[in-house]
Structures are given as structure tokens and as C-alpha cells.
Chain A
Amino acid sequence: MRHLLSAGDLSHREALSLLDMAEEMHEVQRRPIKKLPALRGRTIVNMFFEDSTRTRTSFEIAGKWMSADTINVSGKGSSVSKGESLRDTMLTLDAMGVDCFVIRHASSGAVAQTANWVRACVVNAGDGQHEHPTQALLDAYAMRQHFRASGVREAFEGKRIAIVGDLLHSRVVRSNVLLQRTLGGQVTLVAPPTLLPAGVESWGVTVSHDLDAVLPQADVVMMLRVQRERMAGGFFPTAREYSAGYGLTAERLARVRPDAAIMHPGPMNRGVEISSEAADAANSRVLEQVSAGVAVRMSVLYHLLGGEGGAR
């Protein structure tokens, strides 16, 4: 594994190995001294062309706990705004001897393009509406923890995972679908037709517009953020109507099995796609997802940089 660009690039063995190793990393998270020497002397640049406090911090902590030198570069205010091409921006940093780029970009494909240009290894921290593979991995990690804690078989095969929300604009859904296709989870996508990606019928998932019918079957209910500005695009009329049809409201919460995990990659719009009752429910795994994020990213960074890998 030289880069992590797409959740679809991971084999079944690689995906499980990343999740297994994340458990060892999670153990470090509970130690008083949160430090492993594995990436000592490695330089990781977190290149965030788009703001994301949550993902950037998670990667930064992961790198630091592994003893790497992590540097954060924000796209805003850098040469990006001066009209420099993406290629020139990345080659300039690459020439400084960076071992790994962790890249967030508003444009789909920008991370994969960069991987073709630079010597460093590249981790996709979210590109446009394309992919967010470490999010899918941490979701899978949190699911597995949940399966284990609730005493069910921890394997993903046959698990029913409902993903609900703005799927058209979501990189999280694409990576989750790809990863679960590898791991064996059965994904049902629930959204108004206006928020479904073109060609979704070929993704090997079930598509539904009836959340009430889907919820009682689900082992995992993953709610995705719906941005209010989508109303201007004519995707749905009002937040009220969206919530009535597709929100995990307090009333609808009763249809979720008590042993099913409620998940949300954040940031949450409480009252739109998820009610506070659901977000704070006993079976909500929202905070576990965040906690898993650091361990999963440590695992990813160790996989890419722990051996002889890194810049060529």
C-alpha cells in the first residue's frame, strides 16, 4: 500500500489489518504516555485546502502520537489563492522532503491527481464529493466495537447498514459503500431522489425513500449531514419537510432497534437530519466514531510509513 486514495483500493485483508492494528493503537490512546516511536523522523504535511478542524486535528494527533513531525498547511492564504496550479503547489512542498501528504481538497480527484505528481505518499482526507476513506474506516471500526459490545457477531458479512441523507454531495457515503462492499455489509441508501448520485443503482446497494420501513431492519443507522443551502438548489423544499421525511426524529427513534448503532460523521445539524434525542441516545456511537478516528489514522499512517515506504 503506497497511498490511501480510495476505500475501494483496499483488499479485504488490508481493510481488516488496518482495523486490527487500529485496536492496538486505540490501546495507546488510553495510556498515560501517548507516544509510539514508529514514525520518528518522518515528516507529515496536513495539506488542508478546505477547512476541517475535526479531520485535521485527528490526523495531527495521530501523527504526533506516532512521533512524526506533523505540519499543518491551510489552503487559504497560501499560494493556492495566488493562482498557482495545484501541481506546482504540491511539487514545491514535495521538494522539501516531505514523507507523507494528508490532503483535504474541495475538488473531487485532486488527491488522486497529486499522488501522480509527488514522491511522498498521499492520504486522502476527503476530496470534494468523491471519497473520504479514513472516515469509512473509522466508521467500520466504530461499528465493529459496537457489534462486539452488544454481543453480536463482529463480522460485517450480512450486517444491514442504512445510510441516510444528502448522498449526492457526500464523499462519506461513497467510501462507506466501497468499504462495505469489501467487508460484506449490506448497505441501504435512503434519500429523496434529488439527493441520490447518478448511477447509484449500479453501486450494489439497496435504495429506498422510506426511512420508516428501513429503520427496524438496520444494524447501523448512519445519518449524514444535510446542508441548509441545498434548499436553494431545489433539492428539497424546507428543512421541516426534509426532517419529516428523512430526519431521525425523536418519534422515529422508536423504530431503531435498541441494539442498533446510531452514527453520524459530523458535524451534526441537530433538528434537521438528527434530533438531539437520537444524537444523545444510549446507542448513539457518535463520540466513539471521533475517538476511533485517531486510532484508525494512526493505523493508516503506520501502514504507509512504518516500514520502508514513504517518499521515493
Chain B
Amino acid sequence: MSFAKLSISALAVAAMSTAASARDNVQVAGSSTVLPYASIVAEAFGENTDFPTPVVESGGSSAGLKRFCQGVGTEHTDVANASRKIREKEIKACAENGVTDIIEVRIGYDGIVFASQTDGPAYTAFTQSDIFNALAPKVMVDGKLVDNPHTQWSDFNADLPAADILAFIPGTKHGTREVFEEKVIAVGCEETGAMAAMIAGGMSEDDAEDACLEVRTDGRSVDIDGDYTETLASIDANANGIGVFGLAFYENNTDKLKVATMAGVTPSTESIATGEYPVSRPLYFYVKKAHIGVVPGLKEYAQFFVADELAGSDGPLAQYGLVSDPELAATQAAVEAEETMQ
């Protein structure tokens, strides 16, 4: 059986070469929001340096940080992209697996926008309260906290179109979901007085805060676990639907989507940079310090990412839709000094 001989020898050759060669490329995993920026940087890094092009995987902030925290050694990822800050319990999980020195790098800001089909209902202006009234499981009606009775946007705000409520929001494994909950739903909860009513109804403040982050589960709010293209496809199929997108994704698809203002502010790189537009969040990546010097090009990749030429206000990242960080110089210095998180 020559097949068997061939396969055994092929495997032997492969195994030998594996043992001989350590990983020579930076391995990145994490947020699908950061992925486009990371891929732009990775391509440029490969083109502009003598290091091989880094591999950037997607999968969501939580999944990326989980893999990041699994241990030290070249079989684990070097960098985790995240569209939110690392959580306390993730730092703890990291430490349990020996990942203690983590360098946090903020690359800039990203806006979260509410957009719908260009020829769908006129969803042009929302407030956080509108989104809360549409999507929360319990809302205030006539001063009482009741199960959400709203089926149309016009039910609670006469200025909004009389169209069925249907929203496509990021699933729980996305960092975007957390921002959506904290900067939209929770704010709406407070504004409409639902939170006060919950506390008056006997809830502790913490419980009320948690209850404020919930969304209704009767099918009017749909979790999207995939990428923004999946949200876009859902919007395409449902004229009444509104979707939650990153600003960069919306700007790439202005021919298919129209954006709504939030609390009267139109989302744009300028309004996010000034902080006027309320729903924005910083984007991060986390570097495993123990891998610097082991994996070739890791520190250079981090430095290249935050260099003025890339992450600055007229670099390719800003060109694609990232809102550049005004404190970029501090970040550059921190990466240079390999400052770890406390």
C-alpha cells in the first residue's frame, strides 16, 4: 500500500518541520468591529515591514478575550481586539492562566448608529427613550410600570411613523451590545422614569440597574450574532426594521441605509469626536506582554497600529471610519514603554 507509506512519510515531514519552526507571525482574535481596522493595519504591516502579515480572526470581543486569557505560549493568541474595556472577571480569568501582564491599547472611537432601509418608514430621529419604550420588556404607561404594550413606534411617540416595531440588535457576544445597553437602553430607562418606578416598587438600586438593561423577548427585538452584513440583510428583508450598525459600516453602505439622529445629533466622525453624539465607545486591543520578544513583530505591530500615520486623523483608519483618539500620543508612549494594566 504505497498510499500508507506516502502518508506516513508526509506526516513525519510535516511533524518534524512543526517542531522546528515556532510561530513567526502575530496572531490576533476578537471583536468583529475592530476586525476591519486590524485588517487594514495587518495588510499595511505586512507591506511595510519585513515581518509576515499578522493573522486577524473575528468572533466577538468576549470570545477573543476568552482565547487571549487561556494562557501564555505560542499556541495562544498574542492580541485580543475588543470593542469594550476588558472586564474585571476576565482579568481574573487571565491571571488564573498565568496571563498577568496585559498592555491595554486604545485605538480610537466608534459610533453606534441606528439605520433603516432608505425607502422604509421615516425613522429619522430617535431619542434613547424612544428606543427604550420600543424595546424594553417593561415600560412606563400613564405613570405605571407595565409589560410593554407597544406594537408600533407611534404608540408612544406621535412623531414617529406608524410602523411595526422591529429592531435588529447585536447579540450578547458582541461588545457593541454592552454599549447599546448602557448608552441607549439604560439612559432611556432613567429618562422615562422606569428606573425610579422600579426602585419605588421595591427593587434595590443594583437590581433596577440590571433590569434596565433587558430587552423584550417577544420577537420584536432580534439578536444578531453575526456581522453587520447579517444585520444589513435582515434590514433588506424587513422594510420596517431598524438595525444597529457601526458608523464605518453605515458610511460604506449609504446607498442602502439611512441613518437616524440620536437625541437630535447626527452621527458623524466630527460629532463623535466632540462627544456630542451620545452613543459611541472606545475600541481597544490587548497585548500579551509575555509574548513580546517571543513572537517576532508583536511590539512593532502594536506600535505600527497606533502610529500617527495609521491611527491619526488622516490615516487610513480614519479614512475608513474610525474616530481618531485625541490622546493618541499618550497611547503611543504607553505602548513604547510597554506599560501594563494594574
**Chains A and B are bound partners:** no
Give the A-binding residues of B (Cβ under 8 A). Answer: none
